[in-house]
Amino acid sequence: MNTKKIASPHSKSIDEIIQTFSVDTTHGLTTEQVTANQQQYGKNIIVHKKKVSQLVIFLQQFNQPLVYILLLAGVITAILGEWVDSSVIMGVVLVNAIIGYVQESKAIKAIESLSKSVESFATVVRNSTRQVISSSEVTIGDVVLLQSGDKIPADVRFVEVKELQVEESALTGESVPVQKSTVALDEHSVLGERTNMGFSGTYVTYGIGRAIVTSIGNDTEIGKINTMISEADILQTPLTKQIQQFSAFLLYIILGLAAVTVVVGLIRGETFVEMFMAAVALSVGAIPEGLPAAVTITLAIGVSKMAKRNAIVRKLPAVETLGSVTVICSDKTGTLTQNQMTVEKIFAAKIEYDVTGSGYAPNGTIKVDNRKVTDVNENFSLKNTLLAGTLCSTARVVEKEGMWAVEGDPTEGALLVSSKKGGFDVDTAIHQYPLIDSIPFESEYQYMATLHKNTTENTNIIFIKGSVESIVDRCSYSSSIHNESIDPSEQLLYTKANEYALQGLRVLAFAMKVVPAEKTEITHEDLVDDLVFLGLQAMIDPPRDEAIESVARCQRAGITVKMITGDHVKTAVSIAKKLGIVDTIEDDSLVLNGKEITKLTDEELVHVVQKISVFARVSPEDKLRLVKAIQENNNVVAMTGDGVNDAPSLRQANIGIAMGLTGTDLAKETADMLLTDDNFFTIQAAVEEGRGVYDNLIKFIAWTLPTNFGEGLVLIFAIILGVTLPILPVQILWINMTTAVLMGLMLAFEPKEPGVMDRKPRDPKLPILTKQLIGRIVIVSMMLCIASFVYFFVAYHYGRTVEEARTLAVNIFVMGELFYLFNCRSLDVSMFKLGLFTNIPLWIGVGAMTILQLLFTYLPWMNKAFHSAPITGLDWLIITGIGVVIYIVIELEKKIRAKLS
């Protein structure tokens, strides 16, 4: 029988909800119910009904200031009967629009596919088994388990809650997390007052809960909103804003020069038609038509390269901002380390045990004095330390395709593995000590506690695990080998914890408390005192080999790496030393802990963070303050994080980087970039790619502007001197579009230069073009202008037809651009240092451009369309020589500038 939907589920009692959905909250839906409901209601996905049509996307490509000039020129030339010129101008506009349309369509598809790749998951109970499934597979009637950090997968009605709070600001505008309950409410309660409901897309910030799904997909509250809004976002980067400002400035300059051109010509007695055509030529010559497409394609290539290196860019500005990062604040676990936690030491009843084996595979033993422990029951404290690690956990260790992995927290996974090495069967332990109640881990308390029924005795037991500081102070006794209550020896425990921390080990303490069988729930008040200390387990998450090199590369690139962690101070410093973040372990002045941070004012913290590279035992508030303080020192900050607690600092950072594997949904949604492998090496690789993307954009701009300025100068000189135009508008369009597409865009494929990570980060406040580049652009513009102008008039004066002379001028521009293209492969060094054939697409583009230019010169129908004419072999020799001269001059300029710098 199919499950029925229910109207106003917030007004129904829990019994009504359970009866309506035919579900047991303990056992969940059966496989048959799941199949029937999914067939009836479909998948839990939002279908976006309203999108911008493809026609509108296409028409939007014409909504650019520079395109307005071309459209106006095309219309007026058509009115004047210049059909060939008008057709070519309109053709250029159309080609630009098609390129923009294709790229924007790809971008929208990429964003949609990204939303699919960043898939969220939900924990449900089906067939009496707890399962982690894709949120899209959640269906009506599913029993969902929720805890701090989870994204609610659908609209749900809560049936059990434990101090549950949900962040609903995205849906209701409520800035404070909402405390949830299970009490039925008035049917007419507004959305923000439905405290017994959880809504799709909102986040659990505190506590735990159990709920039944009442609506999925477009029927959810967030789904209803999504059907009314457009999916696509307009993403603008700082660079594209600068380019827009540059385009607007260029527009005014072009219109001003065009107006002056017409006035000067009319004063000299020229006809309006001739002067208008000259103004059109000037306008189309000065417009860098290929610039918008080049920016889009270069950024798209950069995003693609980052994706291949395990960095998914969610917000496009991250591509550029990455190139100017000066400080990376990184979490330790899983990012700088392997995220393969392994227990190496156990300290119980004042006896130290070694644990062999590594990773999550349960292969290894527990030893004392090099002797294998065959029966952990010989030591009451050891047995219960392992038992506490087994029961006080929400993780599972599973084998998938021959590989052992943890479903849940890696630390808890390591504890389960150490228990298995001690001979514990996890399923047997869970059956013998069934869970009654729990307090999930919260950073505020630094511990997790669970209440269990002891089936062999008429009592219940509380097991608690957490930081040494949070557990030891709550213990009144310590257990011995034979279950005798002895003094907890706090000093010994702290000494041993510090000893382990100096070895880079993470230390967790374990305790227990026997309570009456009648006790069925626990609170923080139950854990204030009278706990019995059991033991310590010390584990290590070793540094990634590649992270050590990546930290060094970042430091060489002028990027400071700071570690921000909740771990023990000594542990943090030990790992930082191995990674090269600090030089010595002993110097405590190199690290700042959470208590010290709290005592500092904001002004004091701004000063202190400049000298500190390791921050330990920090709270969410501390992380946010640290990021702000580092930014106050004029730094561009990248921040990594994976938990709900990291969300504020991820949002505050210039680049928020979330962990794709272990990160919570809230962290992923907040971040600008996701690491699909949770590896610090990927951050360094993304910074490297970001610098390469920016470099290639600047190379294209530095390459294309001399052509536009050179063409403009040629036309201005011709108009001022009152002589024949050396280049016609249709020929200028041919030069600009063919060279931009076939040659300029190939710079987007230019590999990163060897020294890209050996230089300081760029200042984002600097203009696109430096004084040196402006000087180079002026040099090339003048050389193209003089060469084409002089050669045109020499040829024309000595009897060559005007078509031949103009063909010479056009080819000088093309050949000059071709050789200058090789200059622009690097703005500082020769292409020979880069390698002649390290950019194969560029050579393909040069070859294609050469063929097209030969067709332009010799193909009859192209001669007619573009007013060109065949030229001689000697002409080609001279034209090539001019290109070589331009190349040599710019290479000399590079060397002179290098010597002077």
Catalytic residues: 331
* Cα distance from N-terminal residue to C-terminal residue, the chain: 80
**Sign of the alpha-carbon torsion through 386, 391, 392, 395:** positive
| Rounded Cα distance, 313 and 296, in Å | 15
- For residue 563, give the H/E element and its range: strand 560-564
Nearest to 207 by CA among 152, 176, 164, 144: 164
| Rounded Cα distance, 696 and 728, in Å | 31
C-beta separation of 620 from 645 below 8 A: yes
| 3-state SS assignment for residue 337 | strand
What does each C-alpha distance from 486 to 351, 388, 870 come to in angstroms?
14, 19, 104
Both structure tokens of 382: 């050891």
| Rounded Cα distance, 450 and 462, in Å | 6
DSSP assignment of 465-502 equals EE-HHHHHTTEEEEE-TTS-EE---HHHHHHHHHHHHH
Count of C-beta atoms within a 10 Å radius of residue 172: 16
Strand 129-134 versus strand 178-179 pairing type? unpaired
**Sign of the alpha-carbon torsion through 261, 262, 264, 268:** positive
> For 362-409, where are the alpha helices, taking DSSP H only?
380-391
Strand 485-486 versus strand 531-540 pairing type? unpaired
> For 557-679, where are the alpha helices, taking DSSP H only?
569-579, 594-599, 602-608, 620-632, 647-652, 665-670
Nearest to 512 by CA among 459, 466, 461, 447: 461
Burial of residue 832, with CB atoms counted within 10 A of its CB: 0-12 exposed, 13-18 middle, 19 or more buried: exposed
| Rounded Cα distance, 134 and 111, in Å | 19
| Rounded Cα distance, 818 and 743, in Å | 7
> For 315-467, where are the alpha helices, taking DSSP H only?
317-321, 380-391, 410-421, 426-432
Burial of residue 147, with CB atoms counted within 10 A of its CB: 0-12 exposed, 13-18 middle, 19 or more buried: middle
Strand 351-355 versus strand 366-368 pairing type? antiparallel
Both structure tokens of 445: 């308390």
C-beta separation of 817 from 703 below 8 A: yes
| Helix 238-267 × helix 291-308 angle, to 10° | 160
CA dihedral (264, 267, 268, 274) in degrees, to 10, reads: 70
